[in-house]
Amino acid sequence: MTQWFRRKSNKINTISKKDTKEGTWIKCPNCGAVLSQNFLIENFSCCRSCNFHFKMTPKEYVKLIFDEYEELWENIKSQDPLNFVASKSYKDQLKKYNEQPGVSDAIRVFSGKIHTMALNLCVMDFSFIGGSMGSVVGEKISRAITLSQTKRIPLVIICSSGGARMQEGAISLMQLAKICSKLSEFSSKTNLLITILTNPTMGGTTASYAMLGDVILAEPNALIGFAGQRVIKQTIGEDLPEGFQKAEFLKEHGFIDDILARDKMKETLFSLINFFSSKEDVKFNEA
């Protein structure tokens, strides 16, 4: 019976596991298509069959958006203000993450150019404690706001977050107030803030800067909300509509302005900045 499974022709080549390096092939969690690592790199980490958007690192976003750039405030790290210990110590957790090159917290800030236009960009990193918003995220965004305001440069924040960082307790919650008060001054002076919500953008991040953009965009199928579906369902005691908290549903109901696919990200940002800078009272880069 095993004869049935024997290869009869030598012309058929199959790739055995030994021939592929570990991690070369990735299965799409949405449709099951098998994609090569190289394909994903060339196609902005989007699935060929269903356009599922895989998570991208801050560096990948930066390469996608900027023609030239530099990173700002790379070495700001959390000091564990509460000496927090639960199942593991927060200090040890931070130490482990900080060992990776270039990773200091759940956000990285860059200043650069798209074609000729200057732009400041904050990108959240979900792989760092779930993209949680702690004191470092608050501080870096606040500095980016101040810098953009002083130099009259548009600011873009790419959000990806589970919410506030529990390990920093109330200090983490204070970041909402800190960032929002900064943004209130920022937007009163005809500056431009564009937020891009990626999968997932939840909790304190949605409750503050993510929803305060002059233009709010989201990646296709991104989960966006404050509390999770189960909590809401239990609280209101009702079934929730299909696709509730997905980017497409939120666009239909006016919470966000548009869905932005990754291959259009650079050019859309460029035309948005051009559009706003053509207004009479807005002049960017004229500090």
Binding site for Zn ion (CB under 5 A): 28, 30-31, 33, 47, 49-50, 52
* Residue 48 or 233 having the CB closest to Zn ion: 48
Q: How far is the CB of 53 from Zn ion (least distance, A)?
A: 10
Asked whether 137 and 164 are in contact (CB, 8 A), the reply is no
Q: Tell me which DSSP letter residue 239 carries.
A: P
* Residue 190 or 221 having the CB closest to Zn ion: 221
Distance of CA 223 to the CA centre of its chain: 12
* Residue 43 or 274 having the CB closest to Zn ion: 43
Dmax of the chain from CA atoms?
81
Q: How far is the CB of 244 from Zn ion (least distance, A)?
A: 22
Both tokens of 180, joined, read 């929002």
Q: How many CB atoms lie within 10 A of CB 236?
A: 9
* C-alpha triplet 200, 158, 150: angle, nearest 5°: 150
Distance between CA atoms of 243 and 245, rounded to whole angstroms?
6
Q: How far is the CB of 48 from Zn ion (least distance, A)?
A: 7
* Residue 26 or 76 having the CB closest to Zn ion: 26
Q: How far is the CB of 137 from Zn ion (least distance, A)?
A: 31
